[in-house]
């Protein structure tokens, strides 16, 4: 089967190596984001790629704080603070006082952003369901482990190069 690929539009899935698959997958995810942005109502603002990364980190880190984001991204406090303020103004996140420590603010996704994410989550769920009908549970778990380990290695090697 031929697939569209930014590197080689005529490469078949049978000929694709791991590197090509990753580049093509990244491009496909970016295309989904562009198409979702184009389909969004004019009143809806789509997050940037950077904001999507922040949203994912906030969504997956319980009681996420600005300090957590500084550590995760290896970024300055000022840059993280600017991004948080911008995302809060756009309605993507909310900040609340930490009940255990009034000096800390917990960052979480806003109910509006969660509702706007339903289309992405629906696409993810449909894609996983389709894959689950074609691959065994063991194959799905192995693929998940490989992708996760690969991306963790990229982060590790990036940090090692500093």
Are both 51 and 106 inside the same structural domain?
yes
108 sits in which H/E element:
strand 101-109
* Distance of alpha carbon 37 from alpha carbon 66, whole angstroms: 27
Q: Are residues 134 and 161 in the same domain?
A: yes
Structure tokens at 135: 């691959």
Residue 8 has pLDDT above 70, yes or no: no
What's residue 68's pLDDT?
95
The pLDDT score that the predictor gives to residue 12 is 63
Mean pLDDT of all residues in 38-61: 82
> Does 71 share its domain with 94?
yes
Q: How many CB atoms lie within 10 A of CB 80?
A: 20
Let me know whether 134 and 97 are in one domain: no
Q: For the domain that residue 91 is a member of, what is the CATH number?
A: 1.10.10.10
Closest CA to 7 of 30, 24, 26, 29: 24
How many domains are contained in the chain? 3
Burial class of residue 32 (count of CB atoms within 10 Å of its CB; 0-12, 13-18, 19+): middle
Note whether 14 and 55 are same-domain residues.
Answer: no
pLDDT of residue 11: 58
Phi, psi values for residue 45, rounded to 5°? -110, 125
Task: Give residue 145's pLDDT band: very low, low, confident or very high (50, 70, 90).
Answer: very high
Residues 30 and 55 in one domain: no
Residues 98 and 138 in one domain: no
Look up the domain containing 22 and give its range. Answer: 1-39
Contact 99, 92 (CB under 8 A): no
Q: What is the pLDDT of residues 105-139, one digit of tens each?
A: 999 999 888 887 788 889 999 999 999 999 999 99
Question: 34 with 60, same domain?
Answer: no
In this structure, the answer to whether residues 104 and 123 fall within a common structural domain is no
Question: Does the pLDDT value for residue 9 go beyond 60?
Answer: no
Residue where a domain stops, chosen among 110, 128, 154: 110
């Amino acid at each position: 089967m031929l697939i569209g690929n930014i590197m080689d539009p005529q490469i078949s899935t049978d000929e694709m190596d791991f590197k090509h698959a990753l580049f093509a997958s990244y491009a496909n995810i970016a295309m989904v984001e562009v198409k979702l942005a184009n389909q969004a109502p004019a009143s809806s603002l789509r997050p940037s790629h950077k904001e999507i990364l922040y949203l994912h980190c906030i969504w997956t880190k319980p009681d996420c704080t600005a300090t957590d984001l500084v550590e995760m991204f290896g970024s300055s406090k000022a840059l993280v603070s600017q991004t948080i303020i911008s995302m809060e103004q756009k309605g993507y996140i909310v900040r609340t006082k930490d009940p255990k420590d009034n000096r800390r603010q917990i960052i979480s996704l806003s109910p509006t952003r969660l509702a706007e994410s339903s289309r992405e989550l629906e696409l993810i769920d449909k894609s996983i369901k389709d894959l689950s009908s074609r691959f065994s549970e063991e194959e799905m778990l192995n693929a998940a482990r490989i992708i996760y380990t690969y991306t963790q290695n990229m982060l590790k090697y990036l940090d090692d190069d500093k």
